[in-house]
Amino acid sequence: MMEYKLEVKVGLKHGVLDAEGETIQKSLKLLGYDVKKVDAVKCYNITVEAKTEKEAVSRIEDSCKKLLANPVIQEYSIRVL
């Protein structure tokens, strides 16, 4: 078994209102920063033990579908670190 570190980013799908991102954008503008758009994204760094990289990614993909992301309004990406 090997240890794999993976980064999972979860954000809203295109077209879904990102109220948190819009609030941050407005606040930055009030502070004088010219920001065109802010997307609020959650980032998880997860360490797992698996036989192969493919198995590690598969397990994390399954966890995204079941817990980490809402497939109706969110999308995710997985990157091996």
The pLDDT tens digits for 11-57 are 999 999 999 999 999 999 999 999 999 999 999 999 999 999 999 99
Per-residue pLDDT, 81: 94
Under 8 Å between Cβ of 46 and 10: no
Sheet holding 2-12, edge to edge: 41-50, 2-12, 74-80
**How far apart are alpha carbons 71 and 44 in whole angstroms?**
17
- Which domains, ranges and CATH numbers included, belong to the chain? 2-80 (3.30.1280.10)
Under 8 Å between Cβ of 69 and 9: no
- Banded pLDDT at 62 (limits 50, 70, 90): very high
Any idea how long the chain is?
A: 81
